[in-house]
Structure 1
C-alpha cells in the first residue's frame, strides 16, 4: 500500500484549483433527452389533444392547460393594519401587530415571517437615516 503524499510542494499553492466542474451550461439530462426523442414531432398533437379534452370538460386537462397559461401564485398580498413606522421604536409596535394578527388567525406564520423580514429591513433603513442625520449634526458643530 502506498503512503498518501503529504509534502509541501505537492499540496501547497493550489487553493483555488477547480475540482469537478460538472456539466456544461445548457447540457440536458438523460431523462430530458429521452423524453424529447419520444415526443419528437408529437408535441403539437399532444398540446392540441390536451386543449380539446379541456374544452370537452376534462377537469384534469383543463387544470393542466390553465396552470400553463396562468401559473399558480406562490405569493399573495395580505392585508394587515400596521402603525406608521417613522422611527426604529415604531417597529416594536408594528411587530406586535403582526404577532397579534398571527394569533387571531388573520395571517399565517409564514406570511408573518415575510412581513417581519420587511419590518427588519425597514428598521435598518430608518436607523441608517437617523445615524446619517446625527453624524451630519455633529459635523456642523
Structure 2
C-alpha cells in the first residue's frame, strides 16, 4: 500500500514549480531589519550627514574616514601600464612574461599587479596554442 506523494509545490528535482506562490520572497521585498532602520532614520538623513561632516571638520578621525569613504571610495582595481611585446605564439608569451618580470624588478609594476597580468598572459597563451593546434589539424585534414 503506497501513499500518494504530497503536493508541496515542488518539481521532482526539488525546485519550486512556477506559479505556486511558494517560490520565496516576492520581487522587491525588503529585509525586516532594513525596513526598521529606514523607519528610524526617516527624515533624519540630512541632519545625520551634517553632523558627520561637522565632526570630521572638528578632527574626528572616524567621521573623517566615513566622509572620505563616501566622497572618494577606494579604487578596487586600477589600470596597469607598461609595454609588452605582441603575443602571437607561445614563444611570444614567454617573452612577454620575461618583460613583465623585468617590470616588477624595476618597480614599474607591483607583484600583485604582475600576478593578475600573468594570469591573463597564461590564458592568452592557451588560446594561442589552441588556435595553432586547430589550424594545424585543419591543414592535416585538408591534405588527406
Class of the TM-score when normalised by the shorter of the 2 chains: 0.5 to 0.7
**Which residue of structure 2 lines up, in the alignment, with residue 18 of structure 1?**
16
Structure 1 residue 53 and structure 2 residue 51: aligned?
Answer: no
Aligned mates of 2:57, 2:97 — CA distance in 1: 48
- The alignment's C-alpha RMSD in Å is 3.8
Aligned mates of 1:133, 1:88 — CA distance in 2: 15
Q: How far does residue 79 in structure 1 lie from its aligned partner after superposition?
A: 4.8
- Count of equivalent residues: 132
Counterpart among 98, 105, 110 of residue 107 in structure 1: 110
Q: How far does residue 33 in structure 1 lie from its aligned partner after superposition?
A: 1.6
The C-alpha deviation readout for 1:58-99, integer Å capped at 9, x for no partner, is 322222111111110112334555444232321123234445
**Which residue of structure 2 lines up, in the alignment, with residue 38 of structure 1?**
40
**Which residue of structure 1 lines up, in the alignment, with residue 120 of structure 2?**
118
Q: How far does residue 138 in structure 1 lie from its aligned partner after superposition?
A: 7.6
Please say if residues 54 and 61 of structure 1, whose CA atoms lie closer than 8 Å, have aligned partners that are also in contact: yes
**Which residue of structure 1 lines up, in the alignment, with residue 8 of structure 2?**
none
Q: TM-score, normalised by structure 1?
A: 0.63
Aligned mates of 2:26, 2:116 — CA distance in 1: 35
For the structure 1 residues 17 and 57, does the alpha-carbon distance in structure 2 shift closer, same or farther, using more than 3 Å as the test? closer
Q: TM-score, normalised by structure 2?
A: 0.62
The C-alpha deviation readout for 1:78-131, integer Å capped at 9, x for no partner, is 4555444232321123234445666888523x4333212211333345446656
Q: 5 Å matches for 1:48-87?
A: 48-79=50-81, 82-87=84-89
The C-alpha deviation readout for 1:12-50, integer Å capped at 9, x for no partner, is x82374287333333222221221121111111101111
